[in-house]
Amino acid sequence: MTNVLLNTNFEFPGQKSVYHGKVRDVYNIDDQFLVMIASDRISAFDVVLPRGIPYKGQVLNQIAAKFLDATSNICPNWKIASPDPNVTIGRFCKIYPVEMIIRGYLTGSSWRTYQKGAREICGVPVPDGMKEHQRFPSPIITPTTKAVKGHDEDITEAELLSGGLIPAGEYEVIKKYTFELFRRGTEMAAKKGLILVDTKYEFGKGTDGKIYLCDEIHTPDSSRYFYLEGYEDRQLKGEPQRQLSKEFVREWLMANGFMGQEGQQVPGMSDVWIKEISDRYIELYEGITGEKFNRSQSDNILTRVEKNILSWLKL
């Protein structure tokens, strides 16, 4: 198997702290820059799975970089440079403790909630009589809190405002950006024959007081895509939609008795399955960007990543 980037533990000049997330490691450089390293770790149901996926970090980082550049006229974003296939360096921001999830279609966890009888998702009313994968009358925002450990939790707009998680005026700006980014993402996906089904955005406040789009955007880890061709026909026939997302990993886990609940064990991941996941992520990259994926050099990944970051920080 190809080498993978699982963990980092660097010491950079001016480094004040490091945060090891489920997938990304984020280094704070003197409260001026954030160095975000996209590892090859993979998570599902808020659990990091035991094996890494070759080239997954590169896929996520490079898709995010492309979409950050393509949406910079909608709202300011944190990205400054991408000196390595797995790395983005951006301005230091204090991240809001809420993920802005926006959904155009009733699918995934929202469908599972709907099946149980719920007709409100995060306080947003949902029409009765909908089918799985059906388009909402208009996109809805269903925010979640960002958990340091364990599962993120759904929250309503009223709850996040009353709890002081985001000031009301700033939340209105973030909400406006979320709808506009989703609209742009939908337009870009359609040009590639895809439907942007749902996605999440994270925002932060810079040292200048401005609100910035942070982290990743429109990647297969943060978004779900359907193929546009045949969507309506499959809906009419009640057939599953062709998806371009990480959902196939979740479905495999559920089929093997794992949903991240206490007492459940992650099923074994064979080399064949790891390669299939890697191939699917590369397919995702090429489908979403319309470009051929160029595999990065995978020998001594840690050395390569550290060298490229240090070289940029010395500029």
Place of tokens 């489920």: 22
Domain 15-94+274-313: give its CATH code.
3.30.200.20
Intervals of CATH 3.30.470.20 along the chain: 96-245
Burial class from Cβ neighbours inside 10 Å (0-12, 13-18, 19+) for residue 156 reads middle
Residues 6+ away with beta carbon under 8 Å from 290: 192
Give the model's pLDDT for residue 67: 96
Give the model's pLDDT for residue 151: 57
User: Which class would CATH give 96-245?
Assistant: alpha beta
Cite the DSSP H helix spans in the chain: 56-70, 108-115, 157-162, 168-191, 231-237, 247-255, 271-289, 301-313
Give the model's pLDDT for residue 200: 96
Intervals of CATH 3.30.200.20 along the chain: 15-94+274-313
Give the model's pLDDT for residue 149: 53
Give the model's pLDDT for residue 245: 80
Give the model's pLDDT for residue 1: 55
- Cα separation values, 26 from 16, 19, 84, 215, Å: 11, 5, 14, 10
**Average pLDDT along the chain, 315 residues, taken 10 residues at a time:** 88 96 95 97 91 96 96 97 97 95 95 93 95 97 77 88 96 98 97 96 96 94 93 96 87 92 92 94 92 90 96 91
Q: Are 152 and 146 in contact (CB under 8 A)?
A: yes
Taking residue 208's Cβ as centre, other Cβ atoms within 10 Å add up to 9
